[in-house]
Amino acid sequence: MTRTDGRVLVVGATGKTGTHVVAALAETPFVVRALTRDADAADALRAQGADEVAVGDLLDSADALRAVADVDAIISTAGASLRLGDIRGELVDGAGLVNLVDAAAAAGVQRFVLMSSIGVGDSKGGLPLSIRAILTAGGVLSAKERSEEHLRESPISHTIVRPGALTDSPATNEVLVGEGGDSVCGSIPRADVANVLVRALFTPGTENRTFEIVSRPGLREPPNTLVDIDWGTVPRAEPAD
């Protein structure tokens, strides 16, 4: 593949959604840099399609600065575990992503696509009460809200995507996009979320907006506010000569 169109950093690249993002970007003309805290994951990330692997922890601001060097765009799928016992101390959802946004702004990154979650901010009603209780007790929702607001206040052109409950099912390609908080309620495969995150990079109509997304098969109730997005075309890399 010929890489000519810049560099995209994938944050949370070893996670279940991040691996789908890396694979999707591997087919584009962009250099794909994957960020991981685990140096032992480098070979697996390259096998999935990453051209470069950066090892670092977003809770370290110096690591964040190194990760964004020479980067044109960022897709972040980073997040804390949903297991209450694993949620402690500073969270990548909050302090880590704040460090990343600050580093990106300082480095002149042009575009930032952030995966957040239904349940954050004005979308609280879209998250089942049992899950909301766990994430509220662990501070995850407030951390995600903090990072959302920090990104909105930054000078970076951004898109914030709040998916419903994540599943490992195959992509449905039937995604409902809401806007305005409690717009949709339900679940969505990670593969569909990754597709939305990547396409947002190439869709000017998504810039500086926040969306809630679920899959049509996973919808639990009639949506309140759906929006039509004229999704841009994801470019494909030319085969190497």
- CA 216 from centre of chain: 20
Hey, is 17 helix, strand or coil? helix
For residues 211 and 136, what is the distance between their CA atoms, to the nearest angstrom?
21
Hey, what domains does the chain have and what are their CATH numbers? 7-218 (3.40.50.720)
Structure tokens at 162: 């709040």
pLDDT of residue 81: 58
Partnered with residue 74 across adjacent β-strands are 9, 112
pLDDT of residue 55: 96
Q: Is 159 left (phi over 0), alpha (psi -120 to 50) or beta?
A: beta
Q: What is the pLDDT of residues 150-181, one digit of tens each?
A: 999 999 999 999 999 899 999 999 999 999 88
pLDDT of residue 121: 87
Question: Which ranges of the chain have pLDDT less than 50?
Answer: 1-3, 83-89
pTM strictly above 0.85: yes
Instruction: Select from 84, 87, 176, 174 the least CA-distant residue to 130.
Output: 84
Taking a C-beta distance cutoff of 8 angstroms, is the pair 99, 61 a contact?
Answer: yes
For residues 28 and 30, what is the distance between their CA atoms, to the nearest angstrom?
5
pLDDT of residue 22: 97
Instruction: Note the maximum CA span of the chain.
Output: 55
